[in-house]
Amino acid sequence: MSVEQAQRTVNQLHKDIADLEKKMAGLVKKEADKTKRIGVVQKSITKNTSVSMLKNKDRQIQGYQRDLARLISDKASINNKMAEKRAKLAQTTVKLQKEESSRAKNIERQQNSIYETYEKQIAELSEQVKLQEKFAISDKNVFDSSTEEEYDVFVSHATEDKDSFCDEFVNILKNEHHLNVWYDSLNLKWGDNIRTEIDKRLIKSKFGVVILSKSYIKKYWTNYELEGLFQRETNIGKLILPIWHDITKQEIQNFSPSLAGKMSMNTAIMTPSEIAEKLNELYSSSKERPETER
């Protein structure tokens, strides 16, 4: 039984018990009325009451007593029903508490897993930087890409989202807006070291477009790219441009509150062409500002 089903059952049992209590109150009122009537008839009998009148009053009393017997039987039946409902309510409440506790533990495990992934990625990035500093040759290492091509946009995405959005979006950026885009399908070559290539291209890109989806938040490489972008943004300012793709705000909030707080584009309400146009406008305005203002 799910939390929702258990909650619905608990709500219905509370309603059923309330209805039975209302019926019980009505029966108690009727019982008091019948008892009062019997008392009134009994008091009306005196030594002067005729035999025929006495018989009539005795019939009245017997009728009220039969009514009382039915009322007492109905009360007993309702009491039994209420006892059954209350027992079932107690059992269902225990189940509901267990289901809520289980759900809370699952959410806690998921959050802990996300935090552990973050910590692992940060540790890996730190270790990577240490290794590159340790094995630097003269004044150049894999991060020293002064001779490498610079890119306007680095597109961080999950492979599962290529067909539904990424390929079309990148094609519009390159062919319609003539932006220099780093996109793994276009730039990674057979035999390239993926980690090294990502590190170099992140440093040489003006903006990092992050296409957030259900697949994106689960993958190692996308999280690796995101950590790199966050580190660069800490040093140089605005860099990360989020796009929500088939994902809810709550899912992003659970994954990264800092990303959830950023102004984002959303494929649910905008076409690839419209989002590409917004990016081109942002890129054009950034070129007009002096370097020191960025």
Alpha-carbon torsion, ordered 94, 100, 103, 107, to 10 deg: -140
Order of strands, sheet of 240-244, starting from the edge strand that comes earlier in the sequence: 181-182, 151-156, 205-212, 240-244, 265-266
How long is the chain? 294
Q: Which residues pair with 209 in a beta bridge?
A: 155, 241
Tell me the residue ranges of DSSP E strands in 136-268. 151-156, 181-182, 205-212, 240-244, 265-266
Residue 233 annotated to the active site: no
Q: Label residue 171 exposed, middle or buried (CB < 10 Å: 0-12, 13-18, 19+).
A: middle
Give CA–CA dist 206/287, Å, rounded: 10
Instruction: At 16, list the tokens.
Output: 């059923």
Q: Which listed residue (133, 225, 281, 291) is catalytic?
A: 225
* Residues marked as catalytic: 225
